[in-house]
Chains A and B, each alone.
Chain A
Amino acid sequence: KAGVTQTPRYLIKTRGQQVTLSCSPISGHRSVSWYQQTPGQGLQFLFEYFSETQRNKGNFPGRFSGRQFSNSRSEMNVSTLELGDSALYLCASSLAGQVQYEQYFGPGTRLTVT
């Protein structure tokens, strides 16, 4: 069974631009979560989707948004990029959104904002 895939793997953008990151979960998984990882802040929760509905959102500004499609694939969008948005963005999928289901992570998208 294929794992979680994320595209693109690397991205360089200029301040003020916007970016869209994509995540394809493991087949059959309905829950997708996004995380931002930086050396200073560690792993921070961005949002969680289940069956096309955003169930939770972390403490990030409105420039960060996302959505999930009927096939469970998810996209994350960041508008008006800032230098501080440079990070590794990780997507994780799980069978369902309950506490006992482990999350499987994709390889991440490394975003650099210049």
Chain B
Amino acid sequence: AQKITQTQPGMFVQEKEAVTLDCTYDTSDQSYGLFWYKQPSSGEMIFLIYQGSYDEQNATEGRYSLNFQKARKSANLVISASQLGDSAMYFCAMREAYTGGFKTIFGAGTRLFVKA
């Protein structure tokens, strides 16, 4: 069964420091996409970064990078130089083919608190 696990319900980080949010996934498919989304208190989901299962290099988008370890089935998000505005809920998600279409499943999320 498809599964996304985020083991850190909450994380604290000091402003300007880097933080790693963990994500492991479980799939038997060879082709899949891994995503991270940010959800501030306003509720809107904001796309941060994408990693394809066939991508050999780790994805980076500004201060966000994805530490992709395929053999371990992990896709950790690294936020460098944390800012107060990074305080939010972060979701790891996996998208793969499913019964003729595609399906995205989400982890339970990690709430990040950035301290001044």
Contact = CB atoms under 8 A, between A and B. Distances in A.
Interface residues of A, number: 27
Contacts of A90: 45
Contacts, number: 67
Interface residues of B, number: 30
A105 B96 CA distance: 18
Given A42-B109, A100-B33, A106 B99 contact: no
DSSP class of A's interface residues: helix, strand, loop or mixed? strand
A3 to B, nearest CB: 9
A105 B46 CA distance: 7
A104 B99 contact: no
B45 A105 contact: yes
Contacts of B53: 99
Interface of B: 31-33, 35, 37, 42-47, 50, 52-53, 91, 95-109
Interface of A: 31, 33, 35, 42-43, 45, 48, 50, 55-56, 58, 88, 90, 92, 97-108, 110
